[in-house]
Amino acid sequence: MNKNIQHIVIVGGGTAGWLAANHIGKAVQGNPNYSITVIESPDIPTIGVGEGTVPMMRQTLQSFGIDEDEFIVRCDVSFKQSIQFVNWLDKHKHGANNSYHHLFDFPYPFKQDLTPYWLHSGQGRSFADTVSVQAGLCQAMLAPKSLQHHPYEGDATYAYHLDARKFAQLLSEHAQKHFGIQYQQHRISEVSLSADGSIAALLTANGQRLTYDFYVDCSGFSSLLLGKALQVPFIDKSAELMIDRALTVQVPTDKAQPLPCSTYATAHQAGWIWDIALPHRRGVGLVYASKFMDGTTARRKLLHYLGQPDDDTVQLRDIPMPVGFRQQSWKHNCVALGLAQGFVEPLEATSILMTDYSARLLAASLPSCHTELATLAAQFNQRLEYSWLRVIDFIKLHYVLSDRQDSAFWCAMRQPDTVSPQLTALLQRWCYKVPQSTDFFSKFDVFDVENYLYVLYGMQYPTQSPYLLPDYLHWALQRVEQIDEVRKALCQQLPSHRQLLLQIKQRFYARQ
């Protein structure tokens, strides 16, 4: 007998659970055959290892129907236009505090690549400044838009920095109000399995037996359903990406100072430090490889970065970070999302990116009956495995390109046996050819050619300079001059980052 799938449960709230609830709720909106329940434990805190997003989040929130002004005000949002990498190159060759931007604007403002021009004759300036106006906006700490822009639109592409707990609360309210998501609090003590190995029921600490047709595991690192109950192995990738711990802290933001619109990623001897500025506070975290740095040294280094004395009054949160992903993201009638599915260090905001990406994919592949499960699971797992491997390659790229020689960590991260054959082959190709979109042949490449271009040439990758026709050089020089003119005009027109956030807040409350 083929049983219909009607009752879906999401185990775990937080950003992952409530993103899933909104994606699935929107996909089945108006369909009376589905009911969706989120079960959250009353005593498990949000991990919150990062509070940065990527531009895809704008599309997600807009598709949910969330008001951008309300989101910005309620979640203490600031705009994010880039990741600025500091000290990822040898300071003796490139200067102390060397840096580059991985921008969010596409480096193709004229639908033709300016990279060959930069390689040929433009290296007296940064790659980012050659192909985009956005680095100038970031340096001036200007907003990517003005108050007159439509929601989710701007003069430059942007994402967000946000308060993860407040974001989860907003997503929760929206899912319940607009998509009819049911909400319950329970401590899940046991998972009951059927004879075929699928999940039959959830058993609560107070003795209740809760049965559903389909289970979404958003239980965090514990992976309560997929990992523990269904025994899906974890594929450990710590040999490739060695960073496995984080120390985090929140410190006040000086409201009299300009507000950065970049995530700062500052490298140190065994990892890097993220610095994310919200309107009222900064979220700062030092990630490190415990094989190359002990916890005491990591604490001292983070406090030095913050300019604070090393004493017991400063409370830091210590987070272990298993590096890798589940061998299957979907098994039987259970799918894992978020940290329950996998995790790599929060460089490039990969955690929330993969959560949003996976939840979107699940919502588009939602089963209606049990006979669909095996086929849909096989497709989902194939796509997610590919995506995770390519995410790991992209993160690894940042380390492979570094020429730092000052510690064993940086040397170890460049060892050829820690680099995938796919990334090795691409880097060999890119010694002679500029990256092209055709190098990324799958729609399941989470990072695309523009992301690689900013990192490769921000880190001075030595692609051979191509032969260029005079007509192209003349055209490219005109385009670069045009970019400079647009950058200058925007720097005069756009409000400061902090000013725009204040204006949005005033507009939001005036509407209430």
Q: Residue 137: CB partners within 8 Å, gap ≥ 6?
A: 81, 143, 144, 156, 261, 487, 490, 491, 494
Express each pLDDT in 455-501 by its tens digit.
999 999 999 998 999 999 999 999 999 999 999 999 999 999 999 99
Output the pLDDT for position 50.
Answer: 53
DSSP annotation of 170: H
Closest of 345, 440, 464 to residue 83, by C-alpha? 345
Sheet harboring 262-268: ordered strands across? 99-103, 82-86, 262-268, 271-277, 281-288, 245-252, 317-320
Angle at 421 between CA 128 and CA 272, to 5 degrees: 45
Within-domain flag for 350: yes
60 — pLDDT class (breaks 50, 70, 90): very high
The answer to the question of residue 456 being in a domain is yes
Same domain, 364 and 419: no
- Which residue would you say has higher pLDDT here, 29 or 444? 29
- The contacts of residue 83 (CB under 8 Å, 6+ apart) are 52, 101, 102, 262, 263, 264, 265, 347, 348
Q: Are residues 478 and 347 in the same domain?
A: no
Percent of the chain having pLDDT more than 90? Answer: 90
- At residue 315, the pLDDT reads 85
**Long-range CB contacts for residues 369-377, cutoff 8 Å, separation at least 24:** 369/2, 369/3, 369/4, 369/5, 370/2, 370/3, 370/4, 370/5, 370/213, 370/333, 371/2, 373/332, 373/333, 376/330, 377/328, 377/330, 377/331, 377/332
pLDDT at residue 424 in the model? 98
Question: What's the total number of domains in the chain?
Answer: 2
Each residue's pLDDT tens digit, 136-173: 999 999 999 999 999 999 999 999 999 999 999 999 99
- Average pLDDT over the chain reads 94
| CA distance linking residue 225 with residue 231, whole number of Å | 8
Q: Does 176 share its domain with 64?
A: yes
Q: Identify whether residues 72 and 184 lie together within a single domain.
A: yes
Domain boundary among 385, 408, 431: 385
Q: What is the mean pLDDT of residues 89-95?
A: 95
Helix (H) or strand (E) holding 161: strand 159-161
Same-domain check for residues 49 and 177 = yes
Q: Of 385, 401, 428, which residue is a domain's last?
A: 385
Q: Is residue 38 part of a domain?
A: yes
Last residue in a domain, options 335, 351, 385: 385
Question: Does residue 336 sit within a domain?
Answer: yes
Q: How confident is the model at residue 111 (pLDDT cuts 50, 70, 90)?
A: confident
In a domain, 335, yes or no: yes
Query: What is the pTM (predicted TM-score) of this model?
Result: 0.95
**403 and 474 co-located in one domain:** yes
Q: Answer yes or no: do 43 and 124 share one domain.
A: no
What's the farthest any 2 CA atoms get from each other in the chain? 78
User: Same domain, yes or no, for 222 and 348?
Assistant: yes
pLDDT digit string, tens, across residues 448-458 = 999 999 999 99
- Residue 313 confidence (pLDDT): 75
Neighbours of 257 (CB within 10 A): 10
Least confident of 46-50, 247-251, 363-367: 46-50
What is the rounded CA–CA span in Å between residue 209 and residue 186?
11
Report pLDDT digits (tens) over 252-263.
Answer: 988 889 999 999
DSSP, residue by residue, 318-386: EEE---EEES-SEETTEEE-GGGTEE--SGGGHHHHHHHHHHHHHHHT--SBGGGHHHHHHHHHHHHHH
Residue at 126 is within a domain = yes
Q: How confident is the model at residue 444 (pLDDT cuts 50, 70, 90)?
A: confident
The CATH number of residue 358's host domain is: 3.50.50.60
Answer yes or no: do 403 and 463 share one domain.
Answer: yes
Indicate whether 397 and 482 sit together in one domain.
yes
Q: What pLDDT score does 47 carry?
A: 57
Region 432-458 average pLDDT? 92
Q: Place 3 in a pLDDT band, splitting at 50, 70 and 90.
A: confident
Q: What's the burial of 256, exposed, middle or buried (CB within 10 Å: 0-12/13-18/19+)? A: exposed
Residue 345 corresponds to which tokens in the numbers above?
């260090």
Residues 304-310: what's their mean pLDDT?
89
Mean pLDDT over 8-32 rounds to: 96
Question: pLDDT digit string (tens) for 384-404?
Answer: 999 999 999 999 999 999 999
Q: Which domain holds residue 169?
A: 7-76+162-232+327-385
Q: Are 382 and 329 in contact (CB under 8 A)?
A: no
Q: Does residue 99 contact residue 127 with C-beta atoms inside 8 Å?
A: no
Residue-level pLDDT at 175? 98
Residues 368 and 219 in one domain: yes
Answer yes or no: do 396 and 454 share one domain. yes
Q: pLDDT value at position 311?
A: 72
Q: Does a structural domain hold residue 418?
A: yes
| pLDDT over threshold 80, residue 42 | yes
Asked whether the beta carbons of 500 and 146 are under 8 A apart, the reply is: yes
Q: Is residue 444 part of a domain?
A: yes
Residues in CB range of 142: below 8 A, 6 or more apart: 261, 490, 491, 494, 495, 496, 497
